[in-house]
C-alpha cells in the first residue's frame, strides 16, 4: 500500500506530552489549523485547562491523562481518539523526561525511568499507532533530538534514550515498509528548544541547568511535526544550530568530543537563573507545565534550516558534504578523528 497522507485540516492527531513545551506547541498550532487533537499527558489538571481554553475558541480536542511508560495507559489514549473522533490519522510520540548529572551521579532507578518514558513510551505509542493505522495509512512521528546523533556530557541517560529512539524509528520504518502498511514514519530531531525541560529534569549538578544556545521557540518543532503529518519525510532537524552540531559530530567525532569536554558543563549551567521552583523535577510526578522555560534566554522564532529541509530533503546530504569539507580543511593536526 502506497503512503498517502490526508491534508492536515482533515486529520485527527494524537499528541503525547501535550501540556508542556513542544507538545503544547504542537497541540495549539494543530487546533489553530483546524485539526482534531487527542492530547495526552500525566498532568490531568493542565489537560483540563488546555481543553477548556481551546474548545472555548471552537477547537476540537479530546484529552486523556496517561503515563506513556504504561502500555495499558497508551492503549486508553487510542481508545479516547476512537471514541471522540472515530480514530486518528497521525500519532506524535513527544513525551520525554531527563536528568542532569554524570552517569555515576544519576541513580540506576532514574536511568531506568528515563528509558521507561523516552524509549518505552515511544515504543508503546508506535505499536498502538501502527496497529490502528496499518492498511488505512497515516503517519507516526517520533520526537528524538540532535542528541540522537551526538552525546553530551551531563545528559548521558537522555542521550542514550534518544539514540535508542533513532534505532527504534528506523526499525519501525523498515518493518512497515516491508509489509506495505502505508504508514509514514518520521524522526524529528530538535536542537535546543526553549521549553521547561531544564526545570523539569532531575538535576544532580551543583548548579541549575539550562539548554545551550542557540535556542529556538517550540513553534519550530510544531512546524516540523505538523509538516511530517501530511508529508512523508525520514528525518527533519528542527533548528539549524542542532543540525550543524550533528554534522560536525559525523564529520569529526573526536573534535566534537573535545569541544564537549571543554565547554559541555559550562554551557549547560545557569547559576544566576534557576527558573521556576514549582516546575522542578517532574521525573516521577508532574509539576507545573508551560509552553516556554522561565529562564531568561533568547529563542529564535524560526529555522531557515528547517524550511530548507521542507523544500527538499537533499539539503541534509549537502550539509553533510559541506561540513565534511570544512572540517577536513580546519581540523587540528593533533586530534585524531
Burial 74-94 (b: 16+ CB within 10 A, else e): bebbbebbeebbebbbbbbbb
Which element (helix H / strand E) includes 284? none
Q: Which residue has 475558541 as its cell numbers?
A: 57
Is residue 158 annotated as a catalytic residue, yes or no? Answer: yes
158, 216, 237, 284: the catalytic one is 158
- Residue 297 phi/psi, 5-degree rounding, is -135, 165
Q: Is-contact 47 39, C-beta < 8 A? A: yes
DSSP 333: T
Q: Is-contact 36 85, C-beta < 8 A? A: yes
Q: Is-contact 155 99, C-beta < 8 A? A: yes
- Helix, strand, or coil here: 30? helix
- Name the residues annotated as catalytic: 158
Amino acid at each position: 500500500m502506497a503512503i498517502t497522507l490526508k491534508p492536515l485540516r482533515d486529520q485527527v492527531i494524537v499528541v503525547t506530552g501535550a501540556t508542556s513545551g513542544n507538545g503544547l506547541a504542537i497541540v495549539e498550532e494543530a487546533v489553530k489549523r483546524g485539526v482534531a487533537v487527542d492530547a495526552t499527558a500525566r498532568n490531568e489538571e493542565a489537560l483540563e485547562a488546555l481543553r477548556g481554553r481551546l474548545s472555548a475558541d471552537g477547537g476540537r480536542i479530546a484529552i486523556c491523562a496517561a503515563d506513556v511508560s504504561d502500555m495499558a495507559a497508551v492503549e486508553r489514549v487510542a481508545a479516547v481518539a476512537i471514541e471522540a473522533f472515530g480514530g486518528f490519522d497521525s500519532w506524535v510520540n513527544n513525551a520525554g523526561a531527563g536528568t542532569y548529572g554524570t552517569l555515576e551521579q544519576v541513580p540506576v532507578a532514574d536511568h531506568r525511568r528515563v528509558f521507561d518514558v523516552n524509549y518505552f513510551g515511544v515504543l508503546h505509542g508506535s505499536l498502538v499507532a501502527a496497529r490502528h493505522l496499518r492498511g488505512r495509512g497515516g503517519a507516526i512521528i517520533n520526537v528524538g533530538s540532535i542528541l540522537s546523533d551526538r552525546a553530551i556530557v551531563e545528559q548521558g541517560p537522555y542521550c542514550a534514550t534518544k539514540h535508542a529512539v533513532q534505532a527504534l524509528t528506523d526499525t519501525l520504518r523498515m518493518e512497515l515498509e516491508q509489509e506495505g502498511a502505508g504508514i509514514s514514519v518520521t524522526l524529528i530531531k530538535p536542537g535546543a528548544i526553549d521549553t521547561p525541560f531544564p526545570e523539569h529534569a532531575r538535576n544532580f549538578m551543583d548548579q541549575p541547568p539550562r539548554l545551550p544556545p542557540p535556542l529556538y521557540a517550540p513553534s519550530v518543532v510544531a512546524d516540523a511535526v505538523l509538516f511530517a503529518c501530511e508529508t512523508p519525510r525520514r528525518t527533519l532537524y528542527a533548528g539549524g544550530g542542532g543540525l550543524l552540531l550533528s554534522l560536525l559530530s559525523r564529520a569529526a567525532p573526536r573534535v566534537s568530543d573535545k569541544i564537549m569536554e571543554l565547554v559541555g558543563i559550562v554551557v549547560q549551567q545557569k547559576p544566576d537563573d534557576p527558573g521556576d521552583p514549582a516546575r522542578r523535577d517532574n521525573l516521577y510526578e508532574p509539576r507545573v507545565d508551560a509552553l516556554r522555560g522561565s529562564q531568561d534566554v533568547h529563542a529564535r522564532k524560526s529555522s531557515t534550516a528547517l524550511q530548507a529541509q521542507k523544500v527538499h530533503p537533499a539539503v541534509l546530504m549537502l550539509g553533510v558534504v559541506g561540513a565534511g569539507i570544512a572540517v577536513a580543511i580546519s581540523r587540528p593536526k593533533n586530534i585524531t578523528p
